[in-house]
Structure 1
Amino acid sequence: MYRIVSAEEALKVVKSNDRVYIQAAAAAPQVLVKALSARHEELRNVEVCQLHTEGVAPYANPELKDSFHVNSFFLEKM
């Protein structure tokens, strides 16, 4: 059985030192991105993995560097 929860409640599963993947391009879930970033004071060293994303990315702001580490994937054609 599924139940609907708020973004804030859904993001409670993320803990310090976890790795989180943000879906690419326009599919980046802005409500979840904002809810995750809002938890910056209680989170440390969360790795945020992403391709190209569109929209806001407050987790990438320099002042949140202790909370989030951004790992962007880029492929280069050789």
Structure 2
Amino acid sequence: MKKVSAAEVVSVIRSGDRVFVHSVAAAPQQLIQAMMQRAGELRNVEIVSIHTEGKAPYADPQYRDSFHTNAMFVGGNIRKAVQSGEADYIPV
């Protein structure tokens, strides 16, 4: 198995893609940070998650043109974005 960097992993993400971010403590923080480094290159990437622990920088209003969050659980890290309409909640 070949090891690759987080930057290489997220290099396959294109504008308009849908990306599932794993849940709770398994949220891949290094991959999320690498994705944030590409925010200036990406547009309308949909981030889908059930519930993530830790930081969710993709839900910050400064990234609204790059990322849109659809979550099945609203935790403290995205609550403000959902309340302001910057992110969506999918009831399940």
TM-score (norm 2): 0.77
Structure 1: runs of 5 or more not aligned: none
Which one scores higher on RCO, CA 8 angstroms, separation ≥ 6? 1
Q: Distance in 1 between matches of 2:27 and 2:11?
A: 19
Question: Given the two structures, how large is their TM-score scaled by the length of structure 1?
Answer: 0.91
**In 2, Cα distance between equivalents of 1:37 and 1:49:** 15
What stretches of structure 2 of length at least 5 have no aligned partner?
Answer: 74-90
Identical-pair percentage:
51
Pairing of 1:1-78 with structure 2 (within 5 A): 2-74=1-73, 75=91
| Corresponding pairs, count | 75
CA RMSD in angstroms comes to 1.1
CA distance, structure 1, for counterparts of residue 56 and residue 37 of structure 2: 11
